[in-house]
């Protein structure tokens, strides 16, 4: 059925974009931390913020919003596969919470081992990349079997409406995805009470030092 093919190809394109963002973020952080044994609180907070964005972005994918509900309605027996996919989400979530907890500890201890952060990022990316692969290999195949007729047309209509809303939203604010290489990460923050070095950079550093860690995320049902 052409409509089903169109939908699954569209989802594959979306999956590829997310995969590229995960790999780009992972590579960027490894390059930044390659020659560091310790890292600053600002670096840890930056990593935690991007991990949260990439994780939360997964809930706004067309797979989650439209395909999964259609599969649940057409095939109640698919809960086993969907639970496996959700389990990979929980693994990624645990990595984010680990980074955020370390950021909380870093308020009192201004530096942490960079190796620990790299390990958390690797675990996060590995879990979400495995989720993408499982969705493409198993979930899409299941969708072809259990979704029929008018249900595909309904999903296609939802896709068109989704794309129209997304295009409108892009005019007013920046996208979370894809991951874009930022300016080099700060390697250190001024010590409390240290004199300012002048200019906006010093003010930005002081502001970063006062940031509190983000609260742990909670998995969505």
Domain annotation covers residue 218: no
Domain annotation covers residue 184: no
The reported pLDDT for the residue numbered 106 is: 53
The reported pLDDT for the residue numbered 109 is: 46
pLDDT at 190 exceeding the cut of 60: no
Count of Cβ atoms closer than 10 Å to residue 26 Cβ:
18
Helix (H) or strand (E) holding 111, with range, is strand 111-113
Predicted confidence band at 38 (pLDDT cuts at 50, 70, 90)? Answer: confident
Count of Cβ atoms closer than 10 Å to residue 62 Cβ:
20
Q: Average pLDDT, whole number, for the chain?
A: 79
Number of domains into which the chain is organized: 1
- The mean-pLDDT minimum among 4-13, 63-72, 185-194 falls in 185-194
pLDDT at 200 exceeding the cut of 70: no
- Asked whether 4 and 144 are in contact (CB, 8 A), the reply is yes
The CATH number of the domain where 32 resides is what? 1.20.120
Domain annotation covers residue 185: no
Domain annotation covers residue 131: yes
Domain annotation covers residue 125: yes
The reported pLDDT for the residue numbered 199 is: 47
Q: Is the alpha carbon torsion for 32, 173, 68, 158 positive or negative?
A: negative
pLDDT at 202 exceeding the cut of 60: no
Predicted confidence band at 13 (pLDDT cuts at 50, 70, 90)? Answer: very high
Helix (H) or strand (E) holding 84, with range, is helix 79-105
Domain annotation covers residue 97: yes
Distances (CA, A) of 126 to 121, 131, 204: 8, 9, 33
Count of Cβ atoms closer than 10 Å to residue 155 Cβ:
23
The number of CA neighbours under 13 Å toward the Cβ of 58 is 25
128-174: pLDDT as tens digits: 999 999 999 999 999 999 999 899 999 999 999 988 888 887 776 65
Q: Which domain holds residue 9?
A: 2-163
Q: Which tops the pLDDT comparison, 88 or 197?
A: 88
Cis peptide before 202 (omega within 30 of 0): no
Nearest to 205 by CA among 3, 17, 45, 51: 45
22-37: pLDDT as tens digits: 999 999 998 888 777 7
Domain annotation covers residue 113: yes
- Spatial separation of the C-alpha atoms in residues 59 and 137, rounded to whole Å: 19
> Residue 110: CB partners within 8 Å, gap ≥ 6?
40, 41, 189
Percent of the chain at pLDDT > 70 equals 73
The reported pLDDT for the residue numbered 182 is: 61
Domain annotation covers residue 179: no
């Amino acid at each position: 059925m052409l409509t089903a093919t169109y939908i699954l190809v569209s989802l594959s394109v979306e999956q590829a974009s997310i995969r590229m963002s995960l790999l780009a973020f992972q590579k960027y952080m490894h390059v930044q931390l390659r020659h560091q044994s310790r890292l600053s609180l600002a670096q840890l907070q930056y990593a935690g913020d991007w991990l949260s964005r990439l994780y939360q972005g997964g809930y706004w994918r067309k797979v989650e919003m439209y395909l999964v509900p259609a599969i649940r309605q057409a095939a109640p027996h698919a809960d086993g596969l969907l639970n496996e996919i959700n389990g990979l989400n929980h693994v990624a979530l645990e990595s984010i919470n680990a980074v955020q907890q370390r950021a909380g500890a870093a308020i009192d201890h201004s530096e942490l081992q960079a190796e620990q952060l790299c390990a958390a990022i690797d675990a996060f990316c590995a879990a979400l990349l495995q989720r993408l692969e499982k969705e493409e290999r198993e979930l899409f195949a299941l969708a072809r079997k259990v979704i029929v007729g008018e249900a595909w047309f309904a999903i296609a209509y939802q896709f068109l409406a989704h794309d129209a809303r997304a295009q409108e939203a892009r005019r007013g604010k920046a996208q979370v995805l894809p991951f874009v290489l930022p300016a080099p990460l700060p390697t250190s923050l001024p010590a409390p009470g240290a004199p300012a070095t002048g200019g906006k950079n010093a003010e930005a550093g002081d502001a970063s030092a006062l940031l509190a860690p983000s609260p742990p995320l909670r998995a969505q049902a």
